[in-house]
Amino acid sequence: MYLFTDRLYRKDEIVLDDSKKQVIFTTIDNETILHWLTDHGFPESFIEDIQNEDQSIAYESNEEFQLIILKYFVRDEEDELLYHDENVVIILKGNTLIFLSRDPRIVKNVTTKLYKRYKPDDKLEYITYTVIDILVDHTMSILDRLDDRLEEIEDHIFSEDLDEEEIQKHLYFARRTLNRIAKLSVQSTDIVNKVYNHFPVRIREKLKYEFIDLKEHLSFTINESKTYLDRTGYLQNLLMGFLSNRMNQAMQRLAAISLIFLPLTFIVGNYGMNFKYMPELEWKYGYLGVWVLNIAIAWLIFKWLKKQKWI
């Protein structure tokens, strides 16, 4: 568990003090936090929402609490371009802000980034904005990584050691990730508007430009994810076109080889027929003459195919 007051603490157990401003980062299964929420009238339906792994992005509020559920993207072990989303929860009550996640790594990552930006006199509303901004910046960094990998894939398509199956797999997982980012970023924009509109008027005036900037980042994320999604479609078409062209070249070479041997097969076929009178069979140099003829025909066809750039 992490606690921000006038400094950052890391303890296994923290005594919550309602009279002081506290910003707490911990996991969803922390019994101390769950008991504190229950003792302070946190609705049972809210408890179910934060513990539900399939819970979508949401904003809920009552007279005592504000509940914000957003998403944090984590790299999947299956592929470097595949990211899955995990729920992160922000709870506001009085002087207390609680950040919850099922994955301790997410808690640590967000805490580390907030530590660099945290000031003891920051209001909880500003800290809420900062945490959401950290989540959005994390998503934008994922888009940057995807952009770099897509450039590498585009270059790799024209390389000699192209692995078609691997490239198709990367593009498939990239599309899944980008689709998810675009969809959840649209939902996050709606939640950010609700969070901002539920702040007191005085706070809204102070944080007006911060939330404008935050919504611009979300808009950028939506547009970029859709752009990269189109790019993956282009790369898939490029890959299919390149493979099709390579297949056509292979078929062209096979056709060229067949063309070389076609007249030779015709000549050999003639001498395979069972006729009693075949003058060439009596020639002293008949066998050599047929070989010379075959080689000459094959060489002439080869030169013609070379000129036509078939081989």
Cα atoms in the Cβ-side hemisphere of radius 13 Å centred on 63: 2
What is the rounded average pLDDT of the residues 219-225?
94
CATH of domain 249-307: 1.20.58.340
Given this model, what pLDDT does residue 245 score? 65
Nearest to 107 by CA among 134, 77, 139, 82: 134
Given this model, what pLDDT does residue 210 score? 92
pLDDT tens digits, residue range 25-48? 999 988 888 888 888 888 888 888
Nearest to 176 by CA among 57, 84, 70: 84
Does the pLDDT of residue 130 top 90, yes or no? yes
More confident: 269 or 131: 131
Across the chain, what does the average pLDDT equal?
86
Given this model, what pLDDT does residue 279 score? 72
| Cβ atoms of residues 100 and 91 within 8 Å | yes
pLDDT tens digits, residue range 44-70? 888 888 888 888 999 988 888 899 999
The domain ranges of the chain are 2-245, 249-307
Question: In CATH, which superfamily holds the domain spanning 2-245?
Answer: CorA soluble domain-like (3.30.460.20)
More confident: 298 or 71: 71
Does the pLDDT of residue 12 top 70, yes or no? no
